[in-house]
């Protein structure tokens, strides 16, 4: 007995320590996520995001599938058990979070474009507003994905084909009078990147007369300018005349080779080395497309020219020197060099890391900001690793004063005007490009957001197919299964209601007993249903990718209930105190904890996240008060409030917050007292003083409330752990049950065991 007590106490303490440690790590993770969100939302100098994921907290289950499915790190994360948008600016519109959410809680909507001057105004058909027949596809529309560009190109080709079909009868009627020119194409596509190529394939499929132009000699567009062997994420896309592309990722060279093969196979009318100047709509409705090789006439024009345009210049002495480059195609060509990379975007960081991998290189990144705000999290993590091991050095808050044959002269922009000279054998200026907006405006494209159609401005990515009413067919299916089980049991009630000792004499015993015939098959079907039920975990972790997560979740519910019903029939409606009977009751408990726990777990986090949003608003009010104040009082109030929230929301224990809730608010009293003393010393007006102190008290109350809700959520999330451990226990009991049944049928009775039972 003493040994049993000692073992149980040791196990309990180890589990308690593990739970406490896991809880502390989770709190630190959530704190870091909220800090990152605050930093991201505070970058007022950046343009608003083009795509914005929106989380419906009334639906979010907290499964984390949207976080795991997003290819861009740092956009979404889990806070208080539910999904939260951390850095909307990093969203590039994959929309996989929308497709994977099993309950339709995520939508992708356009950000606030009212202040954007770099987004063309298009209608729902990607046609330039005010210029009929002029379409834009690809990166120039502010859609950065290859998949988006390809989908846009195909959609525009089909739209143009429909318009040409509608114009055909009129053209035939006027052909006799010479009104229709034979040399006018249906379509001219400018740009042979993914959007232009997809549009060209769509034009071939639709039988359009067209021409594909590009300033480069080969197809590829912006992708062709990526660094050598760069992995290009394509996402599952389909192209006309090709179908679904076989892979999800391609190296740049492989993708360009595939596109060239497609172009050759279908004999696309491609002309490379042609510089596009402008296009102009003629009085007769056709377009004149001017290039350095002459003009082309067409009824429709598709511009897939990208956003990079010409590389952005620094306008400093020496930037035209031969060792200064504005792109990097092959890092392997540079070894044993002192390299300076100017820029702070993903292109600059990726180039610097590629150059740092080459033997003998000393790489320095020079950036005018105080940190890398615009790069992807995975690039930031990789860069930090290379900074830690000394392969890359970063200099922040530096402007370029001049470039010489052997050095780069810097001047700090932090107010000190300190000058620095870096020795450099190679200089890469990767500060983005000058988009061809002026050229597009000459062609008839508007960037005036007041002209944007309301339907397009409010456009959202379609939510996943998990509508709010998707639970209805699940309930209907489980109800039908339950009623069918009840009807079957009622039909054989004379057998199922008989005492166990008398069942052997019943004629139905051979059919319904657990180890033979139909009774055995009920058990086999229950195991199959359970395996299908647990397979949902693989789909949720994205180990399995086919099928929608909504369908898998619905199947998870149905198969769980079906497993219970089939197991009940397998046990002949009378589970015994054996491993099989214990497995049945574990299965019942598993279904119960899954249903009840999910309801509790999904109910509470909404309130906690709501408190965080309110707390963020209070912090913003304090920041505005600080900005409007000339003294130290508001700044001190903001600093003291942050320190108070840090102690009470993240570092305090559950017991400590419980005592604080009962009225022992010693920290708050001391903080308010210090602030009042500071306010009197600065002779702050009573109205402003009361307003600031009210904000401090409100922030404190919200933080304590959010912390308590988080603690309650953590307690109730024990249901999820119980659910998982019950699932493991159930699997073990089923294995024991099957093994014992097998051994009993094969050895105890001396019979040969078969699917139909011992014989």
DSSP secondary structure, 290-330, as one string: EETTEEEEEEEEEE---S--EEPP---TTTTSTTEES--S-
Q: Does residue 411 surpass a pLDDT of 90?
A: yes
The DSSP H or E segment spanning 673 is helix 666-681
311-433 matches 134-171+182-309+437-451 in CATH topology: yes
> How confident is residue 606, by pLDDT bands cut at 50, 70 and 90?
low
Q: Does residue 428 surpass a pLDDT of 90?
A: yes
> How confident is residue 421, by pLDDT bands cut at 50, 70 and 90?
very high
Q: Please give the structure tokens belonging to residue 159.
A: 């739209």
Three-class DSSP category at 122:
strand
Q: What is the mean pLDDT of the segment spanning 644-666? A: 64
- The predicted-structure confidence for 718-742, as pLDDT tens digits, reads as follows 667 777 778 888 888 888 888 887 8
| Cα dihedral value 363, 365, 371, 374, nearest 10 | -110
Measured distance between the N- and C-terminal CA atoms of the chain, rounded to whole angstroms: 45
Architecture of the domain defined by 134-171+182-309+437-451: 3-Layer(bba) Sandwich (3.50)
Task: Determine the pLDDT at residue 419.
Answer: 92
Task: Determine the pLDDT at residue 467.
Answer: 43
Which positions ≥6 away from 325 have C-beta within 8 Å? 426, 427, 428, 429
Task: Determine the pLDDT at residue 657.
Answer: 59
> How confident is residue 91, by pLDDT bands cut at 50, 70 and 90?
confident
Task: Determine the pLDDT at residue 759.
Answer: 34
Q: Does residue 92 surpass a pLDDT of 60?
A: yes
> Is residue 366 a contact partner of residue 411, using CB atoms and an 8 Å limit?
no
Q: Please count the other Cβ atoms lying within 10 Å of the Cβ belonging to residue 460.
A: 14
Task: Determine the pLDDT at residue 752.
Answer: 38
Hey, CA dihedral for 733, 736, 740, 746, is it positive or negative? positive
Of 337-341, 435-439, 493-497, where does the model show the most confidence? 337-341
Quick one: the chain helix, strand, coil %, rounded to 5?
Answer: 55, 15, 30
Q: Which residue has the higher pLDDT, 226 or 71?
A: 71
Query: How do strand 753-754 and strand 757-758 relate by DSSP bridges?
Result: antiparallel
Q: How many CA atoms lie within 13 A of 561 on its CB side?
A: 18
Query: How do strand 51-55 and strand 106-110 relate by DSSP bridges?
Result: antiparallel
CA–CA separation, 411 and 366 (whole Å): 11
Q: What is the largest CA-CA distance in the chain?
A: 109
Q: Does residue 211 surpass a pLDDT of 90?
A: yes
Strand residues in 475-585 grouped as ranges (E): none
Q: What is the mean pLDDT of the segment spanning 246-264? A: 81
CA–CA separation, 352 and 541 (whole Å): 34
Long-range contacts of 90-93, Cβ-Cβ distance < 8 Å, separation of 24 or more: 90/376, 90/377, 91/49, 91/51, 91/52, 91/53, 92/51, 92/144, 92/145, 93/50, 93/51, 93/143, 93/144, 93/145, 93/148, 93/461
Q: Does residue 599 surpass a pLDDT of 80?
A: no
Q: What is the mean pLDDT of the segment spanning 274-283? A: 91
Task: Determine the pLDDT at residue 387.
Answer: 92
> Is residue 232 a contact partner of residue 249, using CB atoms and an 8 Å limit?
yes
Q: Which residue has the higher pLDDT, 148 or 173?
A: 148
Task: Determine the pLDDT at residue 46.
Answer: 53
CA–CA separation, 319 and 405 (whole Å): 10
CA–CA separation, 526 and 517 (whole Å): 15
CA–CA separation, 25 and 79 (whole Å): 13
Task: Assign a CATH topology to domain 311-433.
Answer: FAD/NAD(P)-binding domain (3.50.50)
Three-class DSSP category at 492:
coil
Share of the chain above pLDDT 70, in %: 83
Q: Please give the structure tokens belonging to residue 315.
A: 């306008």
Task: Determine the pLDDT at residue 342.
Answer: 95
Three-class DSSP category at 712:
helix
> How confident is residue 394, by pLDDT bands cut at 50, 70 and 90?
very high
Q: Does residue 291 surpass a pLDDT of 90?
A: yes
Q: Which residue has the higher pLDDT, 713 or 514?
A: 514
Nearest in space to 256 (alpha carbons), one of 293, 292, 289, 214 = 214
Q: Please give the structure tokens belonging to residue 9.
A: 């106490």
In the block, tokens 């598709």 appear at 302
φ, ψ for residue 407, nearest 5 deg: -155, 170
Q: Burial of 311 by CB count in 10 Å (0-12 exposed, 13-18 middle, 19+ buried)?
A: middle
Task: Determine the pLDDT at residue 289.
Answer: 93
Three-class DSSP category at 102:
coil
Q: Name the DSSP class of 207.
A: T
Q: Where are the domains of the chain?
A: 2-110, 134-171+182-309+437-451, 311-433, 468-599+719-758, 605-716
> Is residue 190 a contact partner of residue 164, using CB atoms and an 8 Å limit?
no
Q: Does residue 744 surpass a pLDDT of 80?
A: no
> Is residue 66 a contact partner of residue 101, using CB atoms and an 8 Å limit?
yes
Task: Determine the pLDDT at residue 536.
Answer: 83
Q: Please count the other Cβ atoms lying within 10 Å of the Cβ belonging to residue 308.
A: 19
Three-class DSSP category at 758:
strand
The DSSP H or E segment spanning 166 is helix 146-174
pTM for the whole structure: 0.65
Q: Please count the other Cβ atoms lying within 10 Å of the Cβ belonging to residue 704.
A: 21
Task: Determine the pLDDT at residue 143.
Answer: 79
**Rounded to the nearest 10 degrees, what angle do helices 579-603 and 686-716 cross at?**
170
Architecture of the domain defined by 2-110: 2-Layer Sandwich (3.30)
- The predicted-structure confidence for 513-554, as pLDDT tens digits, reads as follows 888 889 889 999 999 999 998 888 787 776 666 777 778 888
Among 253-262, 437-446, 699-708, the least confident range: 699-708
Task: Determine the pLDDT at residue 753.
Answer: 35
CA–CA separation, 571 and 586 (whole Å): 14
């Amino acid at each position: 007995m003493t040994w049993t007590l000692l073992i149980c106490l040791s196990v309990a303490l180890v589990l308690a320590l593990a739970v406490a440690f896991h809880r502390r790590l989770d709190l630190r993770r959530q704190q870091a996520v909220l800090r990152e969100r605050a930093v991201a939302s505070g970058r007022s100098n950046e343009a608003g995001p083009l795509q914005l994921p929106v989380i419906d907290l009334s639906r979010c289950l907290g499964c984390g599938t949207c976080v795991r499915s997003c290819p861009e790190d740092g956009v979404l994360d889990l806070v208080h058990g539910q999904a939260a948008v951390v850095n909307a600016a990093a969203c590039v519109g994959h929309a996989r979070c929308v497709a994977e959410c099993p309950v339709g809680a995520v939508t992708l909507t356009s950000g606030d474009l009212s202040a954007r001057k770099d987004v063309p105004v298009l209608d729902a058909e990607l046609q330039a507003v005010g210029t009929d027949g002029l379409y834009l596809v690809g990166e120039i529309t502010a859609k950065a994905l290859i998949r988006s560009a390809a989908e846009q190109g195909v959609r525009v080709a089909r739209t143009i084909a429909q318009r040409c079909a509608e114009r055909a009868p009129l053209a035939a009627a006027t052909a006799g009078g010479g009104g229709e020119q034979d040399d006018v194409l249906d379509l001219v596509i400018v740009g042979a990147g993914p959007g232009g190529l997809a549009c060209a394939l769509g034009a071939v499929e639709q039988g359009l007369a067209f021409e594909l132009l590009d300033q480069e000699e080969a197809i590829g567009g912006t992708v062709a300018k990526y660094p050598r062997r760069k992995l290009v994420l394509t996402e599952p896309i389909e192209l006309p005349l090709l179908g679904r592309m076989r892979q999800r990722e391609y190296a740049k060279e492989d993708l360009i080779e595939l596109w060239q093969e497609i172009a050759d196979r279908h004999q696309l009318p491609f002309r490379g080395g042609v510089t596009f100047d402008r296009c102009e709509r003629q009085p007769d409705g056709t377009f004149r497309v001017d290039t350095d090789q002459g003009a082309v006439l067409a009824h429709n024009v598709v511009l897939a020219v990208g956003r990079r345009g010409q590389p952005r210049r620094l306008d400093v002495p020496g930037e035209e020197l031969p060792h200064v480059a504005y792109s990097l195609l092959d890092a392997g060509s540079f070894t044993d060099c002192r390299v300076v990379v100017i820029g702070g975007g993903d292109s600059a960081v990726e180039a610097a890391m590629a150059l740092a991998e080459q033997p003998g290189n000393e790489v320095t990144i020079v950036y005018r900001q105080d940190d890398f705000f615009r790069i992807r999290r995975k690039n930031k993590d990789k860069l930090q690793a290379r900074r830690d091991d000394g392969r890359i050095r970063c200099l922040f808050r530096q402007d370029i004063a001049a470039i010489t044959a052997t050095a780069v002269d810097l001047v700090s922009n932090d107010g000190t005007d300190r000058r620095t000279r870096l020795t450099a054998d190679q200089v890469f200026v990767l500060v983005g490009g000058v988009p061809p907006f002026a050229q597009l405006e000459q062609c008839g494209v508007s960037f005036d957001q007041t002209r944007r159609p309301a339907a397009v401005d409010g456009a959202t990515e379609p939510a996943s197919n998990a509508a709010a009413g998707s639970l209805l067919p699940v309930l209907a299916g489980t109800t039908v299964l339950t009623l069918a089980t009840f009807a079957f049991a009622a039909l054989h009630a004379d057998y199922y209601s008989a005492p166990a000792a008398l069942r052997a004499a019943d004629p139905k015993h051979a059919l319904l007993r657990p180890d033979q015939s139909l009774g055995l098959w009920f058990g086999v079907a229950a195991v199959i249903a359970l395996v299908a039920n647990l397979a949902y975990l693989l789909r949720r972790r994205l180990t399995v990718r086919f099928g929608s997560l909504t369908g898998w979740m619905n199947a998870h519910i149905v198969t769980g209930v079906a497993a219970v019903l089939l197991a009940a029939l397998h046990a002949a409606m009378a589970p015994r105190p054996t491993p099989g009977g214990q497995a049945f009751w574990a299965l019942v408990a598993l279904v119960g904890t899954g249903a009840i726990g999910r309801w509790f777990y999904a109910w509470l986090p909404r309130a906690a996240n709501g408190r965080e949003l309110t707390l963020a608003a209070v912090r913003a009010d304090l920041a505005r008060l600080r900005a409007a104040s000339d003294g130290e009082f508001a700044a001190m109030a903001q600093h003291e409030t942050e320190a108070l929230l840090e102690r009470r929301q993240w570092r305090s224990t559950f017991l400590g917050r419980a005592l604080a809730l009962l009225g022992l608010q010693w920290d708050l009293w001391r903080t308010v007292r210090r602030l009042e003393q500071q306010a009197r010393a600065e002779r702050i007006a009573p109205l402003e003083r009361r307003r600031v102190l009210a904000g401090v008290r409100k922030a404190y109350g919200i933080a304590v409330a959010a912390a308590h809700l988080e603690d309650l959520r953590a307690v109730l999330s024990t249901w999820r752990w119980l659910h998982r451990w019950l699932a493991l226990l159930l699997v073990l009991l089923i294995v024991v049950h099957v093994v014992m049944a097998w051994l009993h049928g094969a050895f105890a009775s001396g019979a040969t065991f078969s699917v139909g039972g011992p014989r």
